[in-house]
């Protein structure tokens, strides 16, 4: 069971998202070196949660009304609205592939509450079909400790 393998920080985010959002807000007021280490750790935890298929942990700090633009190789259309829609989208993707993995390549704080991550993703079908591999630039915006907008674009 995925929930049983969650690290403590992920269990807090999923089980007590208001507490986790308060911690995220406090982090924004920390000195830059401390903030950077915490951000890297948070994005590494998100990577690990994605790689184990724990989408609840990945979206735990998404606002209920988050605006989300999925990676273009997986989706074309209007942005998704709401944490539930994002969770459904990724559950559907994970159901279509035997394995999916993300690797963080870089992370920068572009402005207070705005982060840009570069990452590579690989989705492997179980039927021996074509592997889908691509790199993204993901822009994440926070407000009140919650992800309010996340846009995934192909790496140029």
Q: How confident is the model at residue 1 (pLDDT cuts 50, 70, 90)?
A: low
Residues 107-155 pLDDT 10s: 999 998 999 999 999 999 988 889 999 999 999 999 999 999 999 999 8
Sequence-distant contacts of 12-20: CB under 8 A, at least 24 apart: 13/57, 13/60, 13/61, 14/56, 14/57, 14/60, 17/60, 17/61, 20/60, 20/61, 20/145
Cα distance between residue 150 and residue 148, in whole Å: 7
Which CATH number covers residue 116?
Answer: 3.10.450.50
User: Could you give the number of structural domains in the chain?
Assistant: 1
pLDDT of residue 120: 98
pLDDT of residue 150: 98
Q: How confident is the model at residue 3 (pLDDT cuts 50, 70, 90)?
A: low
- Domain extent, residue 7, equals 3-154
Residues 4-55 pLDDT 10s: 688 888 887 888 888 888 888 888 888 888 888 988 998 999 999 999 999 9
Cα distance between residue 55 and residue 68, in whole Å: 14
pLDDT of residue 133: 97
Cα distance between residue 50 and residue 59, in whole Å: 10
pLDDT of residue 9: 84
Q: Tell me the C-alpha to C-alpha distance, in Å, between residue 82 and each of 91, 101, 114.
A: 14, 23, 19
Closest CA to 93 of 67, 64, 58, 119: 58
Residues 59-87 pLDDT 10s: 999 999 999 999 999 999 999 999 999 99
Say if residues 103 and 112 touch (Cβ distance below 8 Å): no
């Amino acid at each position: 069971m995925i929930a049983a393998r969650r690290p403590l920080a992920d269990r807090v985010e999923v089980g007590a998202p208001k507490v986790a959002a308060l911690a995220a807000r406090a982090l924004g007021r920390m000195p830059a070196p401390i903030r950077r280490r915490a951000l890297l750790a948070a994005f590494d935890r998100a990577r690990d949660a994605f790689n184990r298929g724990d989408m609840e942990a990945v979206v735990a700090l998404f606002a209920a009304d988050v605006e989300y633009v999925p990676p273009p190789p997986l989706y074309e259309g209007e942005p998704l609205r709401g944490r539930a829609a994002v969770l459904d989208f990724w559950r559907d993707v994970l159901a279509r592939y035997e394995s999916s993995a993300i690797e963080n390549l870089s992370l920068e704080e572009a402005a207070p509450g705005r982060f840009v991550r570069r990452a590579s993703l690989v989705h492997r079908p179980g039927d021996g079909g074509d592997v889908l591999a691509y790199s993204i630039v993901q822009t994440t915006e926070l407000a009140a400790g919650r992800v309010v907008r996340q846009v995934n674009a192909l790496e140029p």
